[in-house]
Structure 1
């Protein structure tokens, strides 16, 4: 009687150890715990350069062939992805001062870029004249310096940005993911697809030769 093993592989997995086993990249379930343990301990790949980041693109068909070789009475059912990526990220101690410098640099660039974009928009839309005309229509007098319109616009712009991005430091307005988080997930998905497709093309070229 054969043992049915269910295996669910994620499309992308990050590991910190150079030796990658099935248990590191997939969920495995089997009533026969001995067979489940053998499959979990099966080696998937090994990264030779342990101090550098690397990635490995694998196919579930190659993995299933190796899994079925662990025992003649094992039947594998894959309920996950057909292709997968294993990203190796060694846990290297990074200097705190360097990390703070990078964070400060990115924050400064983002702040200056956002400020320049807002000023360019205000100049193109001629917001100053619009506020001046609006003030004259409502108050019947010429504006003298900064008015309540400019103050309300500045406060509203800041609050609008915070509400839109749904994120301020570690505090979130709602449990929904922020627009940046959504875009990052889409970027990661597109990056994984590109890596898998490139790996498939390289294998096809190798087979032709």
Structure 2
């Protein structure tokens, strides 16, 4: 008599997923899977969670919850899990339209702020006096406005900032991330870790109260 083989599911959760508000979360939305074709299609359509208004804009889906849902659907399946033990869902209200007035105001604010910062820095270190002294050392003449040094220096500041941030408008010079991108990534990782910790704490409190 041939022994029936146990079906195996290999699953890996996505770390962060954006879901439209009101959409039912299915396993295929938050995980990558390998299984037999008929079971894989069935599992992709498996309903995992239905977000409500009280959930806010972030929901944590734990692997234990997923395993329970899968076992209820296919009791004898063997689950092999890889990667993160949870998936963080961001509930989006829909695409946000860019407002030209707001973009212009933010651009002006950043432009004026950056300009004042550079000017204050130059005033603190007496950059004009430094240029005047360098010009006098090179030419032997005194000049109140050594433009031959000031103009290349001003251009160099702009070029240096573009190289530093690895961008000129939407064009990248290479695939290396800029310092700003790294800081944004670290900030997002810290936010995600905080949200995950808080969600696990809420899940633990909910289970204790039941």
Asked whether the two chains share a fold, i.e. TM above 0.5, the reply is: yes
Quote how far apart the aligned CAs of 1:190 are: 1.0
Q: Does 1:75 align with 2:78?
A: yes
Aligned residue number for residue 133 of structure 1: 133
Q: Does 1:22 align with 2:22?
A: no
Quote how far apart the aligned CAs of 1:204 are: 3.3
Aligned residue number for residue 178 of structure 2: 178
Which of the residues 18, 30, 50 maps onto 1:46?
50
Name the CA distance, whole Å, in 2 between partners of 1:111 and 1:93: 24
Name the CA distance, whole Å, in 2 between partners of 1:16 and 1:146: 59
Q: Does 1:56 align with 2:59?
A: yes
Say if 2:132 and 2:145, in contact at 8 Å, map to a contact too.
Answer: no
Say if 2:132 and 2:144, in contact at 8 Å, map to a contact too.
Answer: no
Quote how far apart the aligned CAs of 1:10 are: 1.5
Name the CA distance, whole Å, in 2 between partners of 1:78 and 1:126: 62
Quote how far apart the aligned CAs of 1:162 are: 0.3
Note the residue ranges of structure 1 that are not aligned, 5 or more in a row: none
Change (3 A) 1:93 1:161: closer
Name the CA distance, whole Å, in 2 between partners of 1:75 and 1:207: 26
Name the CA distance, whole Å, in 2 between partners of 1:174 and 1:15: 31
Alignment of 1:57-136 (within 5 A): 57-92=60-95, 94=97, 99-136=99-136
Which of the residues 8, 11, 16 maps onto 1:4?
8
Q: Does 1:145 align with 2:145?
A: yes
Say if 1:5 and 1:75, in contact at 8 Å, map to a contact too.
Answer: yes
Quote how far apart the aligned CAs of 1:90 are: 2.9
RMSD: 2.0
Quote how far apart the aligned CAs of 1:26 are: 1.0
Quote how far apart the aligned CAs of 1:40 are: 0.8
Change (3 A) 1:85 1:114: same
Q: Given the two structures, how large is their TM-score scaled by the length of structure 2?
A: 0.88
Quote how far apart the aligned CAs of 1:69 are: 1.8
Quote how far apart the aligned CAs of 1:207 are: 4.7
Quote how far apart the aligned CAs of 1:93 are: 6.3
Quote how far apart the aligned CAs of 1:201 are: 2.0
Name the CA distance, whole Å, in 2 between partners of 1:146 and 1:129: 10
Quote how far apart the aligned CAs of 1:91 are: 2.2
Quote how far apart the aligned CAs of 1:58 are: 1.9
Name the CA distance, whole Å, in 1 between partners of 2:52 and 2:205: 25
Say if 1:68 and 1:76, in contact at 8 Å, map to a contact too.
Answer: no
